[in-house]
Amino acid sequence: MRGRVAWIFFFFLSTGIALGEPTPTAAFDRDASAIEVLKHGWHPSTVWERIGKTKFVWKATVRNNSDIRKRVYVYYDLLDAGGVPLARNVANKYIEPHQTVDVASDSYIMSVDLPGVKGSRVTVRVGSP
């Protein structure tokens, strides 16, 4: 019983509910319409032959056209000829009002799938993923 009470107390303190702070969902403005993707690109990097994967590096330049700071989640997909994702990665960054930033990361794709990559796609979400 004592452990359960401690867990409940910790939960309320960690979420801010006990302190009267807004809940995490209320703290975010989730409207992504003010986020503009200006450009993006990717390239293959290190080949890991032993595990059959190739590292790829991507970068997207995004602009916050709103008047408020936003936490932006940028999803990067490598697509086959039919638009089906062969690999995906996500990175996030805070963007100040009317600022432009580069969001960059890296991930892995199966090396056998690499020749099938015919395009890429960027999807932006705001708030929590």
Nearest alpha carbon to residue 128 among 32, 35, 40, 53: 32
CATH of 31-126, one of 2.60.40.10, 3.40.50.300, 2.40.320.10, 3.40.190.10: 2.60.40.10
Average pLDDT rounded to a whole number, residues 109-116: 97
- The model's pTM: 0.75
Note the pLDDT tens digit of each residue in 63-81.
999 999 999 999 999 999 9
Nearest alpha carbon to residue 109 among 78, 64, 68: 78
* Residue % of the chain over a pLDDT of 90: 72
Structure tokens that stand for 60 in this block:
């997207």
Per-domain residue ranges for the chain? 1-29, 31-126
CA–CA separation, 12 vs 8, rounded Å?
6
Note the pLDDT tens digit of each residue in 3-33.
554 444 444 445 444 444 444 444 456 788 8
